[in-house]
Amino acid sequence: MQAKPASHIQSAFSAPGQFYRGNIHTHSTRSDGVLEPEEVCRRYKAQGYDFIALTDHFVGLCNYPIVDTRPYRDDSFTTIVGAELHSGAMHNGELWHILAVGLPFDFEPSNSPDHHPRDDQETGPEIAQRAVDAGAFVTIAHPQWSMMNLDDARSIECAHAVEIYNHGCAVACDRPDGFHTLDLLLNEGRKLNLIATDDAHFYEPDHFGGWVMVKAEQNDPDLLLDALKAGNFYSSTGADLRHVELIGDKVIVKSSAVVTAIVQGSGCSTATVHGESMTHAELDVSRLKNSPWLRVTVIDAAGKRAWSNPIWRE
């Protein structure tokens, strides 16, 4: 009797709980945003978000803020404490930007008085590792905007994810993505996930454009943080993913109504289907059989997207 092909379900769709919508890259008047923290939280709640992480710039110029957003939590909306960390220079001489969500309030500042690197600072990899050791979910922020090279990205060995869509960078300078960086690191065997964010400052239309949908049993900051670290989420600019599963040489995708579903892997081959108002797609990925990882993109008629985290065949 022939054995059934192995099934791999992306963990966001097999974990218990429900999806909660959140933006985990946000700024306020505590650094270079234009709205007070309370108003930032109010606007995201009013727009139907379940949670945000306020991640102001962790530099001396801003008094090293880790903003206490706990007063803005209620029965339907919560917050995760975090910051955007800066220390050391990348290969191009620019200061590191590292997103850290779930930081303790007593996280020790680096020697980062402003937005310029200094020779006596700890490096980007060092401050990222300190954040992970302190319990944070750490992301390599906006690789395209930062113009980082692969050696830069490779050096953040403790990262949980790469920021693959940054709405503020899309609006401000058309450098929104990090897919090239992500996929090259995946090809090296790095078990990274991917996030979409706003990086909202509210002085331009840089808000409500990219988010994560996190699967957790409650809308609780600790449970959301655990789910982020476990990869139990997908990312979106407007489309919804409802199921992603690899069965043998076939990927099953269930989603909101979309016109395109794509499976990407380690090389230039992809599996793609086009249609009208598709909510179920089955993609033959036999051309990708040598890829150790696969990830899914869906695109709706308005061009809005959703992206799965990678499925690893093993």
The angle subtended at Cα 138 by Cα 132 and Cα 144, nearest 5°, is 145
Residue at token pair 């600790």: 222
pLDDT band per the 50, 70, 90 thresholds, residue 6: confident
Element housing 180 (H / E)? helix 179-187
- Residues paired with residue 89 on neighbouring β-strands, in sequence order: 95
Q: How many helices (H) and strands (E) does the chain have?
A: 7, 17
Q: Show the tokens assigned to 167.
A: 């709405």
User: Which residues, at least 6 apart from 184, have a Cβ–Cβ distance to it below 8 Å?
Assistant: 150, 153
Share of the chain above pLDDT 70, in %: 99
Measure the CA–CA gap between 7 and 246, rounded to whole angstroms: 6
Neighbour count for residue 62 (Cβ, 10 Å):
17
pLDDT of residue 178: 97
- Helix (H/G/I), strand (E/B), else coil: 211: strand
pLDDT band per the 50, 70, 90 thresholds, residue 314: confident
Residues 60-76 have a mean pLDDT of 97
pLDDT at 227 over 60: yes
Domains in the chain (CATH in brackets) are 12-236 (3.20.20.140), 239-312 (2.60.40.730)
Question: In whole numbers, what is the pLDDT of the chain averaged over residues?
Answer: 97
Q: Show the tokens assigned to 30.
A: 């505590």
Residues 86-99 have a mean pLDDT of 97
User: Which residues, at least 6 apart from 140, have a Cβ–Cβ distance to it below 8 Å?
Assistant: 98, 99, 148, 153, 156, 159, 161, 162, 163, 178, 181
Residues 46-58 have a mean pLDDT of 98
Whether 198 contacts 25, CB under 8 Å: yes
Residues 10-17 have a mean pLDDT of 96
Residues 38-42 have a mean pLDDT of 98
pLDDT digits (tens, 9 = 90+) for 123-145: 999 999 999 999 999 999 999 99
pLDDT band per the 50, 70, 90 thresholds, residue 265: very high
Residues 259-266 have a mean pLDDT of 98
Single pTM value for the model: 0.97
pLDDT band per the 50, 70, 90 thresholds, residue 5: confident
Q: Name the pairing type of β-strands 161-166 and 137-140.
A: parallel
pLDDT at 2 over 60: no
Q: Which of 259, 311, 306, 263 lies closest to 283 in space, CA to CA?
A: 263
